[in-house]
Amino acid sequence: MELPFAESYKMKMVESIRRSTREEREEWIQTAKYNLFNLKSNQVFIDLLTDSGTGAMSDKQWAAMMEGDESYAGASSYYKMKAAIKDILGFDYFLPTHQGRAAENVLFSVMIKEGDLVPGNAHFDTTKGHIEFRKAHAIDCTINEAYDTTTEHPFKGNVDMEKLEYVLKSNPTKRIPLIIITATCNTSGGQPVSMENMRAVYEMAQKNNIPVFVDSARFAENAYFIKIREKGYQDKTIREIVTEMFQYADGMAMSSKKDAIVNMGGFLAFNNEDLFKQASVYNIMYEGYITYGGMSGRDMNALAQGLYEGTEFNYLETRIKQVEHLGEKLNAYGIPTQKPYGGHAIFVDAKRFFPNLPKEQFIAQTLAIELYLESGVRGVEIGALLADRDPETRENRYPELELLRLTIPRRVYTNDHMDYVAAGMKNVFDRRYDITKGLKIVREAMIMRHFTVELERV
Ligand code: F0G
Substitution candidate for ligand 1 out of 142, 221, 258 with most atoms within 8 A of CB: 258
Are the C-beta atoms of 439 and 34 separated by less than 8 Å?
A: yes
Angle (nearest 5°) at CA 116 between 112 and 122:
90
What is the set of domains in the chain, with CATH numbers? 22-51+313-457 (3.90.1150.10), 59-310 (3.40.640.10)
Q: In this predicted structure, what is the pLDDT of residue 392?
A: 87
Would you say the CB of residue 125 lies under 6 angstroms from ligand 1?
Answer: no
Amino acid at site 375: S
Would you say the CB of residue 280 lies under 6 angstroms from ligand 1?
Answer: no
Would you say the CB of residue 149 lies under 6 angstroms from ligand 1?
Answer: no
Substitution candidate for ligand 1 out of 97, 108, 255 with most atoms within 8 A of CB: 255
Dihedral sign for Cα 18, 23, 24, 27, please: positive
> Going by C-beta distance under 8 Å and a sequence separation of 6 or more, which residues neighbour residue 50?
380, 407, 409
Q: In this predicted structure, what is the pLDDT of residue 252?
A: 98
Would you say the CB of residue 101 lies under 6 angstroms from ligand 1?
Answer: yes
> Going by C-beta distance under 8 Å and a sequence separation of 6 or more, which residues neighbour residue 456?
33, 34, 439, 440, 442
Got the DSSP string for 193-217? --HHHHHHHHHHHHHTT--EEEE-T
- Which are the catalytic amino acids? 72, 124-125, 215, 217, 258, 450
Closest Cα to atom 18 of ligand 1: 52
Would you say the CB of residue 35 lies under 6 angstroms from ligand 1?
Answer: no
Q: Which pairs with CB-CB distance under 8 Å and at least 24 residues apart come from 227-231?
A: 227/313, 229/154, 229/155, 229/192, 229/194, 230/154, 230/155, 230/194, 230/195, 230/196
Three-state DSSP state, 57: coil
Ligand 1 atom closest to the CA of 380, numbered from 1: 19
Amino acid at site 298: R
Q: In this predicted structure, what is the pLDDT of residue 88?
A: 98
Q: In this predicted structure, what is the pLDDT of residue 187?
A: 86
Q: In this predicted structure, what is the pLDDT of residue 188?
A: 86
Closest Cα to atom 16 of ligand 1: 52
Would you say the CB of residue 184 lies under 6 angstroms from ligand 1?
Answer: no
Closest Cα to atom 12 of ligand 1: 100
CA of 186 to the centre of ligand 1 (A): 8
Q: Name which of 307, 412, 255 is nearest 64 in CA terms.
A: 307
Tell me the residue length of the chain.
458
CA of 373 to the centre of ligand 1 (A): 26
Are the C-beta atoms of 344 and 258 separated by less than 8 Å?
A: yes
pLDDT per residue, tens digit, the chain (458 aa), is 999 999 999 999 999 999 999 999 999 999 999 999 999 999 999 999 999 999 999 999 999 999 999 999 999 999 999 999 999 999 999 999 999 999 999 999 999 999 999 999 999 989 999 999 999 999 999 999 999 989 999 999 999 999 999 999 999 999 999 999 999 999 888 999 999 999 999 999 999 999 999 999 999 999 999 999 999 999 999 999 999 999 999 999 999 999 999 999 999 999 999 999 999 999 999 999 999 999 999 999 999 999 999 999 999 999 999 999 999 999 999 999 999 999 999 999 999 999 999 999 999 999 999 999 999 999 999 999 999 998 889 999 999 889 999 999 999 999 999 999 999 999 999 999 999 999 999 999 988 899 999 999 99
Closest Cα to atom 9 of ligand 1: 100
DSSP, res 290: T
CA of 53 to the centre of ligand 1 (A): 10
Q: In this predicted structure, what is the pLDDT of residue 447?
A: 84
Ligand 1 atom closest to the CA of 215, numbered from 1: 1
Ligand 1 atom closest to the CA of 185, numbered from 1: 3
Half-sphere CA count of 111, side-chain side, radius 13 A: 25
CA of 258 to the centre of ligand 1 (A): 8
CA of 98 to the centre of ligand 1 (A): 12
CA of 254 to the centre of ligand 1 (A): 9
